[in-house]
Amino acid sequence: MIITITLVVASLLELIDVTIVNVAITNIADSFGADLSTIAWLIAGYSMATAIVVPITGRLAAIFGRRRYFIGSILLFTFSSFMCGQSGSINALIFWRIVQGAGGGALLATANTVLVEIYPDDMVGFANSMFGIGAVLGPAIGPILGGYLVSNYAWPWIFYVNIPIGILAAVLSMIYIKEPPQKMKVGAFDWQGLLFLIIGVGALQVVLEQGAHASWFKSNYIIFLTIAATIGITSFIYWEIKKAKNPMVDLTILKNREVILGSIFIFILGVGLFGSLFLLPIFQQRLLGFSAFQSGLSFIPAGVASFIMMPALGILLKKGTSPRLLATIGLGLFAVSLFMFSWQDLQPEGIIMGDFFLPMVLNGIGKTCLFVPLMTITMSRLKGADIAQGAGLANMSRLLGGSFGVALTATFINYRSVFYRSRLATNISNYNHGTEPWVDQLTQFFMGKEAGLIKETHQVYAILESSLVKNVVQLSYSDAFFCIGLFFLFCIPCMLFIRKVK
């Protein structure tokens, strides 16, 4: 259990940092005078480095020794966190965020591998439930912790908070983490495979993170990176399967049906999890007037529900409950929670934080019922060195799914906003029977304030524009929540393709 706590704490460090920066973006931009496209690299660079390192962790751990590699990754993550807080320029901060992402990806996949290996076969589900505490709670805790630190201190503290926890995790790892009894054959280092992976996954991550800002394929920059991603990933797969004598990533494990289906569903979970995490804070802050801290607090019910469900799921799996059944329940509950978000209506009295309680609880239970069984299914038939490869592929699937989820959601929101604005704006005119009395009423109100005619007109138009924007945003976000929920609902029949796992 000491090893388990150590590994979960280390994983939590990395996963909190996936979302903790989101609430501090505005403060960091103001601090350095940077524009939004530059600031976006704080998230894109971190995700890119993590996605590249995660699948090759098994290979690197075999080369350096898993214990040394794990401790080194914690120390690298902790040191880069300190340097992020000390950064004197936006370029320095972006560089150290990339280093932080590399260290975080390494410790995440290694922690998952060690957890599965230290428990007996009949407790693999419990091991995955313990790892899931970090995987599910981390992205939810990030906005809460980030909002509190930014509101009460300053943005560097979102990085400094990692330092004492990182040191504690490194010390505990030095004492309790041991090298595995079976050593993997190392052989020559696969430099070509690493190069193709960096080009392919790196370019893909940048396309997904920056595509919406750059108007997708209207930008030559995005077109070039898409071509690079396609060539890089295709070359990587061909090289690893056909040419490499000591492949960086052993893709032969994809012959295992559970690994490939589990990774696909974990990718789907990443789409929904990160897509909804992207939507909710913006919806709450732009439409409901929540502060960053209040928005973070609204995630507490989901976090508590996940925390309670994790060990319960581990026990259910140990007693023989079907992972496929639990994952199906998770898909249904997650879909229902997103439907409930889409049904939120902005009444005159407004929405209070309590209105998010039930959907957040269902959201927390749903994503937990998905993550733990899916990881159990993915790792169920793997042994020895294959466990590290399976953990790396599964975690990379979740990260890439998250990037796809955020990119698709942002694009969908932009598309629906244009659609609703064009539809609603046609109804606002002096010849519309609904608009005319409202404009007259507002004009009379401002005339009572002794404003000039020109000023009255500008004020009335400003209120009309504000109301229009509010309705456009509400309708667009409601559609986004509904479509993600519908996507999860349609995925339920696909669970039948997964074989029963003992």
For residue 209, what pLDDT band results from cuts at 50, 70 and 90? Answer: confident
Q: What residues have CB less than 8 Å from 187, skipping those under 6 apart?
A: 245, 246
Q: Tell me if 204 is assigned to some domain.
A: no
Q: What is the mean pLDDT of the chain?
A: 79
* Percent of the chain predicted with pLDDT > 70: 83
353: DSSP letter: G
Mean pLDDT of 294-323: 80
Residue 213: name the closest of 46, 41, 85, 382 by CA: 41
Q: Tell me if 341 is assigned to some domain.
A: yes
- In angstroms, rounded to a whole number, what is the distance separating the alpha carbons of residues 456 and 179? 75
pLDDT greater than 70 at residue 474:
yes
The answer to whether the beta carbons of residues 369 and 309 sit under 8 Å apart is yes
Other CB atoms within 10 A of residue 350 CB: 10
For residue 444, what pLDDT band results from cuts at 50, 70 and 90? Answer: low
Q: Tell me if 464 is assigned to some domain.
A: no
pLDDT of amino acid 36: 59
CATH number, domain of 6, equals 1.20.1250.20
Q: Which residue has the tokens 């504690």?
A: 168
Decide: helix, strand or coil at residue 274. helix
Q: Tell me if 114 is assigned to some domain.
A: yes
- The predicted-structure confidence for 165-185, as pLDDT tens digits, reads as follows 889 888 988 888 887 766 656
For residue 347, the enclosing domain spans 2-187+246-418+476-497
The answer to whether the beta carbons of residues 368 and 132 sit under 8 Å apart is yes
pLDDT greater than 70 at residue 195:
yes
Q: Tell me if 454 is assigned to some domain.
A: no
- In angstroms, rounded to a whole number, what is the distance separating the alpha carbons of residues 281 and 294? 9
pLDDT of amino acid 79: 94
Decide: helix, strand or coil at residue 413. helix
- In angstroms, rounded to a whole number, what is the distance separating the alpha carbons of residues 394 and 427? 49
Task: Quote the tokens at residue 235.
Answer: 């070359």
For residue 454, what pLDDT band results from cuts at 50, 70 and 90? Answer: low
* Percent of the chain predicted with pLDDT > 90: 5
SS (H, E, C) 36-55: HHHHCHHHHHHHHHHHHHHH
> Is residue 279 exposed (0-12), middle (13-18) or buried (19+ Cβ within 10 Å)?
buried
pLDDT of amino acid 75: 92
pLDDT greater than 70 at residue 292:
no
Q: Tell me if 426 is assigned to some domain.
A: no
Gyration radius (Cα) of the chain, Å = 24
- The predicted-structure confidence for 364-401, as pLDDT tens digits, reads as follows 888 888 888 888 888 777 776 677 777 777 877 887 78
- In angstroms, rounded to a whole number, what is the distance separating the alpha carbons of residues 34 and 28? 8
Q: What residues have CB less than 8 Å from 209, skipping those under 6 apart?
A: 40, 43, 44, 47, 48, 403, 406, 407
- The predicted-structure confidence for 52-109, as pLDDT tens digits, reads as follows 887 777 778 777 887 888 889 999 999 999 999 998 888 899 899 989 988 888 887 7
> Is residue 388 exposed (0-12), middle (13-18) or buried (19+ Cβ within 10 Å)?
buried
Mean pLDDT of 419-438: 70
Q: Tell me if 75 is assigned to some domain.
A: yes
> Is residue 258 exposed (0-12), middle (13-18) or buried (19+ Cβ within 10 Å)?
buried
For residue 353, what pLDDT band results from cuts at 50, 70 and 90? Answer: low
- The predicted-structure confidence for 149-162, as pLDDT tens digits, reads as follows 877 888 889 889 88
pLDDT of amino acid 99: 92
Q: Tell me if 99 is assigned to some domain.
A: yes
Q: Which residue has the tokens 């906005």?
A: 143
Of 481 and 314, more confident: 481
Of 278 and 336, more confident: 336
pLDDT greater than 90 at residue 193:
no
pLDDT of amino acid 96: 92
pLDDT of amino acid 348: 42
- In angstroms, rounded to a whole number, what is the distance separating the alpha carbons of residues 324 and 499? 8
- The predicted-structure confidence for 119-140, as pLDDT tens digits, reads as follows 777 777 677 777 766 666 676 6
Number of domains, the chain: 1
